[in-house]
Amino acid sequence: RKPNNFPPGPKWLPIIGCAWELRNLHKAKGTLSEVTQELAAKYGSVVGVKVGRKLTVFVYGSTAFKELLSKDDFNARPDDIFATSRTFGKRREQKKFLIHQLKEIGFHKPILEEILAEEMRAIIHDINKTIEDDGVICVTNLFPVHILNTLHILMTGDKCSDQEMEELHKAMNSFSENIPLTGMLFNHFPFLRYICPDYCGYNTYVNIHKRVLAFISKKVKMLKEICGPQLSRGFIHAYLEKLNVVKGKSSFSEEQLLATCLDVLTAGFDTTCNSLGFVFLYLLLHPEVQQKAQEEIDSVIGRGRPPTSEDRPRLPYVECVVFESLRLITGRAFVVPRRAIRDSTLNGYFIPKGTILQGSARGTFLDESAGWKNPEVFNPERFMKDGMLCIPDNFIPFGSGRRRCVGEIMARANIFVIVASLLQTFNFRSVPGSPPKVDFVEGFTPSVKPFKAFVTLR
Ligand code: HEM
């Protein structure tokens, strides 16, 4: 039975709840993000549904979205089969340790700059090789290996071999293409994994996670064997040291180490690559924006040295380009799902303990009512005030509160350095006769269909 004062929503049918209606809406609309828009238009900014036995609330309106992200009662992640079958059936989160180590390893140290600069040189080298040929490049293929390299270095302190990278890249691609952040059929109807494990996505889900975890496991084993002062320090090394100190007397364990590395890889790869894909798609479609960004780079940095993340305050227009692209992509995404840890309220409605809350950023980043004029239009200037970057309070692409993204500093630095360096060196134009289309593809986070550009040296 529907709890009293549960948010309004579609009718619940026996056993399946609202699953059929949601499936049909999804088919008609194309993306779950648009489904939430449709539901919000009908029922309001907080919509209650039941899928299988699970209560889920879609949060759409900007006031409710903010309340969702900031309220302690909703600070947990789901603990269902979808969450636990990736982490050995159990989970204790160690976010504090992760944040501390990420800061130690690279976020506030020159090492991050070094990693980014080296990756940048590699990307520029790859593009130069194509220019010697016909200058036509698949833009979306440019970034994944380099983003994985930065995440790999963060975890292990070093790069991996080309062969290992191929293995990791393939596994991560399968992850991005096949696993939506909002869940799969088997986590709404867990019994299906015994009846039709292929059809309900369970086998795909488990096998992809096994591949990524096998890769991380191999790395942990290697790093244990070569432990010593000569070892360059990454997150795994710091964690192993901690394990040695606590010696089984705490929640630190090798399983937790694998699960945390899995989180970093899965949360950091797809999001950063897809954001870069969108930045360059919009730059191709708006040559005037590209030119303005290049003029800013030329006047502030010139061509004599590559941009670094320290240049961000002096390149506000480039930052605006990045933020405007982030708005248009994350506006079609969901924040990582939350779970109510106790009975609570949201927007005045009753939210029972255990309810899953899916925050759709569409109502906050892509809606006129949230203060965005012509929200579908790409307009970097909306983030500019008196020549300075100005980010509205309700623009929170990395979430907020205690569950805020731990990779924000790295992601922002990475995207900025790649965009500024490539615009400093190259011109990106549409391939004559085939301009790219803004076509969003659903995945772990929204992505753009692969597209090509004609690149020339400036
Ligand atoms: C453009 C790139 C990125 C975007 C847009 C993004 C966005 C987000 C968002 C919206 C959340 C959920 C926050 C919430 O629930 O309030 C999140 C969580 C998270 N992100 Fe990111 N992220 C990005 C890059 C990264 C990178 C590079 C890393 C790793 C170095 C990372 C690691 C994480 C982790 C581990 C969490 C889970 C935090 C928790 O559960 O408390 N992210 N991210």
Per residue in 24-59, pLDDT tens? 999 999 889 999 999 999 999 999 999 888 899 999
Going by pLDDT thresholds of 50, 70 and 90, the confidence category of residue 441 is confident
Q: Is beta strand 54-59 parallel, antiparallel or unpaired with respect to 356-359?
A: parallel
Residue 242 has pLDDT above 70, yes or no: yes
Q: Whose CA is nearest to atom 11 of ligand 1?
A: 405
CA distance 128 to 158: 25
Mean predicted confidence (pLDDT) in 262-272? 91
Cα distances (Å, whole numbers) of residue 359 to 2, 33, 57, 364: 21, 10, 8, 10
Mean predicted confidence (pLDDT) in 204-221? 91
Q: Which of 426, 404, 424, 406 is nearest to 416 (CA)?
A: 424
Which of the residue ranges 52-66, 83-97, 107-121, 179-193 would you say has the lowest mean pLDDT? 83-97
Q: Ligand 1 centroid to 410 CA: how many Å?
A: 10
CA distance 231 to 35: 50
Residue 450, number of CB atoms within 10 A of its CB: 12
Q: Whose CA is nearest to atom 1 of ligand 1?
A: 272
Specify the DSSP class assigned to residue 162.
H
Q: Ligand 1 centroid to 244 CA: how many Å?
A: 29
CA distance 280 to 414: 14
Confidence (pLDDT) at 106? 59
Cα distances (Å, whole numbers) of residue 20 to 130, 180, 185, 315, 323: 48, 18, 12, 49, 37
Q: pLDDT digits over 321-334, tens only?
A: 999 999 999 999 99
Confidence (pLDDT) at 1? 82
Strands (DSSP E) along 271-406, which ranges?
A: 338-339, 344-346, 349-351, 356-359, 384-385, 388-389
Which of the residue ranges 143-152, 201-210, 417-426 would you say has the lowest mean pLDDT? 201-210
Average pLDDT, the chain: 89
Cα distances (Å, whole numbers) of residue 390 to 314, 324, 361: 13, 11, 19
Most confident range (mean pLDDT) of 147-151, 347-351, 438-442 is: 347-351
pTM over 0.80: yes
Instruction: Note whether 92 and 386 are within 8 A (CB).
Output: no
Confidence (pLDDT) at 401? 85
Confidence (pLDDT) at 230? 52
**Any binding-site annotation on 405?**
yes
Q: Ligand 1 centroid to 268 CA: how many Å?
A: 7
Which residues have CB under 6 Å of ligand 1? 69, 77, 95, 263-264, 267-268, 271-272, 275, 330, 335-336, 397-401, 403-407, 410-411
Q: Which of 446, 444, 449, 451 is nearest to 212 (CA)?
A: 444
Q: Ligand 1 centroid to 113 CA: how many Å?
A: 20
Instruction: Note whether 213 and 258 are within 8 A (CB).
Output: yes
> Could you give the percent of the chain with pLDDT greater than 90?
57
Residue 94, number of CB atoms within 10 A of its CB: 21
Q: Whose CA is nearest to atom 27 of ligand 1?
A: 268
Q: Residue 26 is which amino acid? A: H
Mean predicted confidence (pLDDT) in 129-138? 90
Q: Whose CA is nearest to atom 41 of ligand 1?
A: 403
Candidate from 271, 364, 412 with most ligand 1 atoms within 8 A of CB, to mutate: 271
Q: pLDDT digits over 353-409, tens only?
A: 999 999 999 999 999 999 999 999 999 999 999 989 999 998 999 998 888 898 898
Specify the DSSP class assigned to residue 6.
P
Helix, strand, or coil (residue 13) = strand
Confidence (pLDDT) at 9? 95
For 192-229, b where at least 16 C-beta lie within 10 A, e where not — what string? bbeeeeeebbbebbeebbebbbebbeebbeebeeeeee
Q: Ligand 1 centroid to 403 CA: how many Å?
A: 9
Tokens matching residue 418: 């790649």
Which of the residue ranges 173-177, 306-310, 353-357, 367-371 would you say has the lowest mean pLDDT? 173-177
Q: Alpha helix (H) ranges present in 157-253?
A: 162-178, 185-188, 192-195, 202-225, 235-246
Atom of ligand 1 nearest to the CA of 263: 35
Residue with tokens 């010697």: 132
Residue 291, number of CB atoms within 10 A of its CB: 13
Q: Ligand 1 centroid to 404 CA: how many Å?
A: 7
Residue 88 has pLDDT above 80, yes or no: no
